[in-house]
Amino acid sequence: MPITVIAKLKVQPGKEAEFEAAGKEMIATVKTAEPGTLAYILHKNTKDPTEFTYYEVYQDQAALDAHGKTDHMKKFGGKIGALLAGRPEIAVLAEVARK
């Protein structure tokens, strides 16, 4: 059963471009290195340019667990840690129904 993660991150004003660059690099790495990641999409809030949301879908819990343990995830966390204005809000969702 697929697992969805919604991760909201608030970035310090003036750090948006640096965060976006790190986010795009992370997406490219996930795309090539994580076959169990079905979607990994970064969004920016249209009303608040310092708020970003990742929409992530993993084929199962094992794929989500593997994602969190990768070297590129650790590297990404190190890159963006100083850019954030607080801790990310993470919601892990279990699918109930689909069209």
pLDDT in tens, 16-51: 999 999 999 999 999 999 999 999 999 999 999 999
The dotted CATH code for 12-51+59-84 is 3.30.70.100
CA distance 58 to 96: 15
CA distance 64 to 86: 23
Residue 97 scores a pLDDT above 90:
no
Contacts of 56 (CB under 8 A, 6+ apart): 4, 5, 6, 7, 37, 39, 40, 41, 67
Q: What is the mean pLDDT of residues 63-73?
A: 95
When pLDDT is cut at 50, 70 and 90, the band that residue 4 belongs to is: very high
Q: What is the mean pLDDT of residues 57-80?
A: 95
Model pTM?
A: 0.92
Q: Are the CB atoms for 60 and 74 separated by under 8 Å?
A: no
